[in-house]
Amino acid sequence: MQVLDASVIYKWYADEDNSDKANKILEDYKSGKIEISIPDLLILELSNALKFNPKITSSEINEIIDNIYALELNIIIPTTELWTFSHSLMRFQINLLWVSTSYRN
């Protein structure tokens, strides 16, 4: 399973660097080779990013968002357990960073 962020999905609809790699991920998903999960906020992030692309109209943005839902990607909705895990991981990373910088001197 791949968890994608808005920057990857944006490349499905805007021709820019690495769009070919992003489109390969989409092709692999459509052919059943991989599963894709996205955070629930991605829809808002993607809508906002598309709004600033002068080549994409408002009606096209609506179509794109409809297409995203039609793909039936696994949308991850934050839960207390997920937040707790993320928070613990973040604290671990901060502690690790502190330890690694403390021993440099």
2-77, which class in CATH? alpha beta
For residue range 13-60, list pLDDT tens digits in order. 998 998 999 999 999 999 999 999 999 999 999 999 999 999 999 999
Largest CA distance in the chain: 57
Share of the chain above pLDDT 70, in %: 80
Q: What is the pLDDT of residue 97?
A: 63
Query: pLDDT band at 98, cuts 50/70/90?
Result: low
Q: What is the pLDDT of residue 82?
A: 66
In the Cβ-directed half-sphere of 22, how many Cα atoms lie within 13 Å?
16
Domain boundaries, given as residue ranges, for the chain? 2-77
* Predicted TM-score of the model (pTM): 0.72
Evaluate whether 50 touches 57 at the Cβ level (below 8 Å). no
Evaluate whether 63 touches 28 at the Cβ level (below 8 Å). no
